[in-house]
Chain A
Amino acid sequence: MNIRKHIVFFSLMFTVAIFILYACAQTQQATPPSSTQTTGPTLTPPPAPVVQQAPPGMDFLSYSGNLSEPNGFPEPGPPYARQNSNPPTALRELPTDSLGLPNWVTSGGMSRASGEALYTMNKDAVVIHPRDDLSGEKKPTPPFNFNIEIPAIGAMPNVIFPHFPHTYWLDCANCHPSIFIMKKGANPISMVKITNGEYCGRCHGRVAFPLAECDRCHVKPKP
């Protein structure tokens, strides 16, 4: 009985301590930065050195504060504040896939449809409007619909490679003929090679959606 009492007491104390610490951290974050206090009835003139405007959003990986004031608080506000350099915040309107990453195919205006045509244009689903060239004057080349079925080993459903979303993002010269030879069956693709960064693995698993999403490529069940 005594042991149980002690355990209960210690656990209660610990949770209370954690709660207090958490509350302290919250209140500290909520206080405004001291450097913004410029107005107010002060007898002494404001300090002479002008606070240099911090180049905002400098280090999006680790740095969360003001560069001219390394110990200060982060400065919120557009356009390059930490909030906007934070991908989950900036990309929150994009549709996501099973891993929680943005689905660039559907957000670019294409959505998966059932039946023969795997991808069709869907104007309502457009979230982003990526440009076709640097100036933004070039007319977008229409993507063409051409699906290639690639047989898979074992019970895995066959792969259907859709040219439609790939030509939306890419030019022919990106893949042909350096990565894929333009002849059916001329590319000995395997998952091992893809994981090692050949064929589809040149982009998928690095920048395009990860290989962990099997069901985005292996779509056609075997008869």
Chain B
Amino acid sequence: MKNKIIFAVLLILACFTLPALFSKKVAGYYGDIVLNSKAEKRGMPPVIFPHWIHRAEFKCKVCHPAIFEMRAGSNDIDMKKIVDGQFCGKCHDGTISWKPVNCARCHAGRPGMTTGPLEGFPQ
């Protein structure tokens, strides 16, 4: 009898907890690009580039292919180049958009992420 009660309690518990465990909710959004060719080697978290917010403001042709080549990891981006006004620094210099002073705004990934589109979304 006791076994059955325990089993029932476990079943009810499972109803609440299992969906939470198995639904792999990814923090991020479709189209986010992880950039981690240099960041983690140099002791920073990987960069997450959110395409969605840039897409609402600019057409693709503004950045591709003049500023960025359309393949994750093929652009040799560097913090020094950004500060000098290349790549992200073309806008993120305080004139068009905010300056790259808040590290965690871009370096928002978790260690171990691989360069490319953020995983966990429908292909």
Binding site for B on A (CB under 8 A): 2-3, 6-7, 10-11, 14, 18, 55, 57-63, 67, 85, 87, 90-91, 99, 101-102, 104, 128, 130-134, 168-171, 173-174, 195, 202-203, 205-207, 210-212
A18 to chain B: which residues have CB within 8 Å?
Answer: 16
A62-B110, A207-B31 known; A130+B122 contact, CB < 8 A: no
Tell yes or no: B104 within 8 A of A by CB. Answer: yes
A60 to chain B: which residues have CB within 8 Å?
Answer: 48, 50, 105, 108
Distance, CA A195 to CA B123, complexed state (A): 8
Decide: A14 and B53 in contact? CB cutoff 8 A.
no
Decide: A132 and B61 in contact? CB cutoff 8 A.
yes
Tell yes or no: B18 within 8 A of A by CB. Answer: no
Tell yes or no: B20 within 8 A of A by CB. Answer: no
Which of B31, B51, B96 contacts A134, CB < 8 Å? Answer: B96
Interface centre among B9, B31, B108 (most CB of A within 10 A): B31
Tell yes or no: B21 within 8 A of A by CB. Answer: no
Distance, CA A80 to CA B64, complexed state (A): 26
What are the nearest 3 A-B pairs in CB distance? Answer: A58-B104, A87-B29, A171-B61
A91-B52, A174-B70, A211-B123 known; A61+B61 contact, CB < 8 A: no
Tell yes or no: B102 within 8 A of A by CB. Answer: yes
What are 7 A-B contacts with C-beta separation under 8 Å? A3-B1, A58-B108, A60-B105, A133-B62, A170-B61, A174-B65, A205-B123
